[in-house]
Amino acid sequence: MKIAIDGPAASGKTSLGRALARHFGCRFVETGKMYRAVALAFQRGLALDGIEIDVSEDGRLLLNGEDVSDLLHTPGLDRGSSEVATIPAVRERLVSLQRAIADRADVVMEGRDIGTVVLPDADVKIFLSASPEVRARRRVEQRGGGGYAETLREIIRRDERDSTREIAPLNPASDATIIVTDQKTLTEVISEAIHLVKERLEGRWDHG
């Protein structure tokens, strides 16, 4: 089974993806971490052909064998990752890594282009959306408060870069179910998504 979750920054993809993966017994893959790891490698002065990226089954990110998972969520890499994500050679490398992982296992994979580019044949495609203000508020709460104005500015800047880049811009796939989460709790979003996946799977079995 392949479940694709896409959506803008801080739309709740990771919380939803983790819950769905646990519920359906799939591997959970956060593709944003891979772009963040490339940005980190560039910060360290490495070139793309000097970078080896691997993801362990429990989601740890290895950059040339080093576990860099705990270094990836900084404001510099929020920005840096969305910059390297505009480079075609970077996307090519990471998309083929993502497809190789999905070939080997049932996955819930989250990112920006999973339903459109990486797994166009995914069994279920979910696109999460929420206003920038709601997303900024949630992100600030996650971090324990403070810095709302700057967080909002950064989210809007990242939305702009992710939606206007030439390759694989952030867009819902034509067959994605869009869940608008502004007025919903995480629990509500998770149960809506579980319901959707079950419906799809039952439909598939009904049709043989």
Question: Is 42 a residue that touches ligand C5P (CB under 6 A)?
Answer: no
Looking at the Cβ atoms of 124 and 162, the one nearer to ligand C5P is: 162
Contact region with ligand C5P (CB under 6 A), list: 28-36, 62-70, 175-183, 191-199: 28-36
Q: Supply the minimum distance, in Å, between the C-beta of residue 85 and ligand C5P.
A: 3
SS3 14: helix
Out of 16, 21, 41, 162, the only residue in the binding site for ligand C5P (CB under 6 A) is 162
- Which two tokens mark 197? 């996946």
Out of 12, 29, 107, 113, the only residue in the binding site for ligand C5P (CB under 6 A) is 113
Looking at the Cβ atoms of 95 and 193, the one nearer to ligand C5P is: 95
Question: Is 32 a residue that touches ligand C5P (CB under 6 A)?
Answer: yes
Question: Is 82 a residue that touches ligand C5P (CB under 6 A)?
Answer: yes
Q: Supply the minimum distance, in Å, between the C-beta of residue 52 and ligand C5P.
A: 19
Q: Kindly report the backbone phi and psi dihedral angles of residue 12, in degrees, each rounded to the nearest multiple of 5, phi listed first.
A: 100, 15
Question: Is 116 a residue that touches ligand C5P (CB under 6 A)?
Answer: no
Q: Binders of ligand C5P among 139-158, rule CB under 6 A?
A: 158
Cβ-proximal residues to 202 (8 Å cutoff; 6+ apart), any chain: none
Question: Is 132 a residue that touches ligand C5P (CB under 6 A)?
Answer: no
Q: What percentage of the chain's residues is helix, strand, coil (to nearest 5)?
A: 55, 15, 30
Question: Is 119 a residue that touches ligand C5P (CB under 6 A)?
Answer: no
Out of 35, 42, 135, 181, the only residue in the binding site for ligand C5P (CB under 6 A) is 35
Out of 21, 85, 101, 140, the only residue in the binding site for ligand C5P (CB under 6 A) is 85
Cα separation, 185 vs 197, in Å, equals 19
Number of neighbours of residue 60 by Cβ within 10 angstroms: 13
Cβ-proximal residues to 90 (8 Å cutoff; 6+ apart), any chain: 35, 38, 48, 84
Identify whether the C-beta of residue 6 lies closer than 8 Å to the C-beta of residue 13. yes
Identify whether the C-beta of residue 35 lies closer than 8 Å to the C-beta of residue 83. no
Helix (H) or strand (E) holding 180: strand 177-180
Question: Is 31 a residue that touches ligand C5P (CB under 6 A)?
Answer: yes
Q: For binding to ligand C5P (CB under 6 A), which residues are involved?
A: 9, 31-32, 35-36, 81-82, 85, 111-113, 158, 162
